[in-house]
Structure 1
Amino acid sequence: MTDFEPRNLLLFGATGTIGIHILQAVLAARDQFHRVAVFTSPATAAAKKDLLESWKETKRLEVLVGDLQDEDAVQKAYEGIDTVISALGRGAIALQIPLIRLADASPTVTWFFPSEYGTDIKYSPASAHERPHQQKLKVRHYLENQVSNLAHTYVVTGPYADMYIRCAAGRDAGGWDVSTRTATLLGEDGKGRVSLTTMTDVGTLVVAALQHPAVAFNHALRVNSFTTTPAEIHAEFVRQTGGQPWNDVQYVSLPQLRERERVAWETDNPTATVFTLRRIWTEGGTLYENRDNEQIGEPPMQTLAEVIASEIKQSP
């Protein structure tokens, strides 16, 4: 299938946190595709009516409304579609398995991108035991063992740079707060390397994968925007906010982070997943000898300076 060319796309979760960036990148390359459609719930179609209508008018976007768990509706949506891109959120990951089963049975669907964006769930043998990975691992197992006619691609980006720099679970889990000039750097000295991808670049990388099916078919593409350290991130924040030291800068060592992660899970804290993922990243679970950007045409990526500038601009 190396001569396959995706022409008719269907996206699930296209208006969500990461899906919106993928959809925007696809629509920016609209002329490369014959059809671009999104499958969305009645509630989302109503809540985001103006946005979807504008894209229908300017980008020839097709909006298919239905229930994700209605197999008849999904089968109808698949008619004439050759490539499916899922951007379902963490809470809906398992719902991809019936979507994959129906895609495999479809006479037209050839290629499926599951919602894999983020941390590599098969980075090392230890990855199999990480709690946040379990649903994605089930989806991978199904794709690799239960389908007959369907190619897949995992776009593995590592953590989203935009989210990494924010205090997602309060200061205990690391992050920067521009409004208060406070920061918590992960790692004893903040010099541990971490690979990051901006959410905008996730969309860019998915489109690049679509343009290189011979490379992407049945592979995990390990891609990123840049590799940096918490110390380098902080230095860039300081530089762009006038060069003066920030009010309060703390460090969280790996043992401290592991202890906070343990307590979060034992107390059913909803931020437990955040602690686990940040511990994985601080352990080096985003780093590779080589990245696969070159394999898909080396698309232009955003820089650390651009991410910091955007965060400062959005700060109250």
Structure 2
Amino acid sequence: MPSQTSNVLIFGATGTVGKHIARSIVESGDFARIGIFTSPDTVQNRPGTLDGLRDRGVEVIAGDITAHQDVEQAFNGFDTVVSCLGRTVLHTQLQMVELADRHHDVKRFFPSEYGTDIEYGPDSAGEPPHQQKLKVRAALRDVKDLEYTYVVTGPYADADGGLFLGAAPVDKEATGTFDVKRKRAVLLGDGNGKISLTTMRDVGELVVAALKHPEASRNRALKVNSFTATPKEIVAEFEKQTGGEAWDVSYTSLEQLKEMEKEAHANGDPRAGPLTLRRIWTEGGTLYDRRDNELIGMEDKMTSLQGAIEQAVRVQTT
């Protein structure tokens, strides 16, 4: 029988998507004990954020994520680990998986996925941004006593810096932009390719639902999302919510996107990884035969396209 979750330890709880996941876990009221593992630097530099969590009953455990002893001690009393670590430290999960599998308390592990399906098809194994996540999946498949769940959401339907519904700097708008203030969009591909998107708040709700449905999420990838839309449908909704005027719209073709990606990788440009992901999305790499929302009771509880655009307009104009 799949293990139930009572006590949750979160890694990366103050990060871009981690703060949304942590908030949803706390606000759910469904777990007896909630803790976060964070660095001494975060304790020193973000006291307000951590005090807010403490005020809600969250335990704050400070330590070095690369130190075996710190991680092992942090696991004590927690049956489930939820990782929200960012790309630069995904490799540290390999040690975490090994330690969690040996630990007498930990029964379930949610690695940091929350994005493109890294095993979508045969070509996925060679994509540069997928490599660390693929290693973590391989490690989890080798464990003896640890259950796991991959929460696959597709790109974030948010307008925060660099995210899909945001405004790119003018000199980088060819990588895709929805610029509310300028009423300007650059769509990737021909604008007709569907993309599966998930707001970060919905990511948090989906993680909670997966935690509460162990029978549906045990040892598998859950492919979930808020909504699916084409870039043209997205810009049409932006137009509707910004006064009804037609936006200035242009396109970056898939071929142009591939050339930009190739050049970025050749030059060691930090935009190379994000460009690869945008190319994958434009090629249809977020579309599945079916989504798994209903398996965890979330079929009709997600943000709509209209709701996501409303939020994006608010973020860009306030």
Give the TM bin, normalised by the shorter chain.
over 0.9
CA contact (8 A) 1:167 1:173 kept: no
CA distance in 1, matches of 2:231, 2:117: 20
CA distance in 2, matches of 1:136, 1:51: 28
Unaligned runs of 5+ in 2: none
CA contact (8 A) 1:173 1:274 kept: no
Identity %: 50
Amino acid at match of 2:258: R
User: Residue 141 of structure 1 aligns to a residue in which SS?
Assistant: helix
CA deviation vs aligned residue, 1:84-114 (integer Å, no higher than 9, x gap): 0000001111110001111011001000000
CA contact (8 A) 2:196 2:228 kept: yes
Distance change >3 Å, CA 13–CA 114, structure 1 → 2? same
CA distance in 2, matches of 1:165, 1:173: 12
CA distance in 1, matches of 2:90, 2:63: 18
Give the match for residue 275 of structure 1: 275
User: Residue 85 of structure 2 aligns to a residue in which SS?
Assistant: coil
Does residue 56 in structure 1 map to residue 54 in structure 2? yes
Give the match for residue 41 of structure 1: 39
User: Residue 315 of structure 1 aligns to a residue in which SS?
Assistant: helix
How far 1:55 sits from its partner (Å)? 2.3
CA contact (8 A) 2:167 2:180 kept: no
Deviating more after overlay: 45-54 vs 85-94 = 45-54
Give the match for residue 309 of structure 1: 310
CA distance in 1, matches of 2:168, 2:151: 23
CA distance in 2, matches of 1:155, 1:254: 27
CA deviation vs aligned residue, 1:227-254 (integer Å, no higher than 9, x gap): 00000000000000101122x3111111
CA distance in 2, matches of 1:117, 1:208: 14
Give the match for residue 290 of structure 1: 290
Give the match for residue 135 of structure 2: 138
How far 1:167 sits from its partner (Å)? 4.2
User: Residue 84 of structure 1 aligns to a residue in which SS?
Assistant: strand
Give the match for residue 154 of structure 2: 158
CA contact (8 A) 2:157 2:308 kept: yes
Amino acid at match of 1:15: T
User: Residue 72 of structure 1 aligns to a residue in which SS?
Assistant: helix
Amino acid at match of 1:311: A
CA deviation vs aligned residue, 1:121-180 (integer Å, no higher than 9, x gap): 0000000010110111111111112x1110100000011111212245721211211111
CA distance in 2, matches of 1:197, 1:314: 16
| TM-score, normalisation: structure 2 | 0.95
CA contact (8 A) 1:168 1:274 kept: no
Unaligned runs of 5+ in 1: none
CA contact (8 A) 1:25 1:207 kept: yes
Give the match for residue 188 of structure 2: 186
CA distance in 2, matches of 1:311, 1:290: 26
Runs of 4+ in 1 over 6 A off after TM superposition: none
CA contact (8 A) 1:160 1:197 kept: yes
Root-mean-square deviation over aligned CA pairs? 1.1
Give the match for residue 73 of structure 1: 70
Q: 2:84 aligns with which of 63, 87, 105?
A: 87
CA distance in 1, matches of 2:193, 2:89: 32
Number of equivalenced pairs: 310
CA contact (8 A) 1:194 1:284 kept: yes
User: Residue 164 of structure 1 aligns to a residue in which SS?
Assistant: coil
Amino acid at match of 1:266: A
